[in-house]
Amino acid sequence: MAWDESFSCDICRTTKLATNHWWLVTLGDVLCFEEGQPARHFTLVPWDAGASRNEGVFHVCGESCATKALERFMSSGSLTQEVSRASARV
């Protein structure tokens, strides 16, 4: 019953509606295969009511935003590049 509590897309900020088919993205640390490789992975899973409330889970509203999330991850290693990277280049 509480599965559609107010979620918004972490990419485009649209609000989730009950009929939307959303996805969850998690970034995690993995053991490096080789030195110098990014120690992270990008996981895309169908919306899950339980997992959607977990800390560190990103909510994406569909294919388009999932693709953008992947692009951000590939270019910056993060899904929140606007926020986290802006201050790092002083």
The binding site for Zn ion (CB under 5 A) comprises: 9, 11-12, 61, 65
Minimum distance, C-beta of residue 86 to Zn ion, in the bound complex (Å): 21
The two tokens of residue 34 are: 């080789």
Contact status, residue 20 vs residue 61, Cβ threshold 8 Å: yes
Cβ distance to Zn ion smaller for residue 7 or 30: 7
- Looking at the chain, which runs of residues are DSSP E strands? 23-29, 40-46, 57-60
Minimum distance, C-beta of residue 30 to Zn ion, in the bound complex (Å): 26
Cβ distance to Zn ion smaller for residue 12 or 51: 12
What is the sign, positive or negative, of the torsion defined by CA atoms of 5, 21, 14, 11? positive
Residue with tokens 């918004």: 8
Minimum distance, C-beta of residue 12 to Zn ion, in the bound complex (Å): 3
Cβ distance to Zn ion smaller for residue 38 or 71: 71
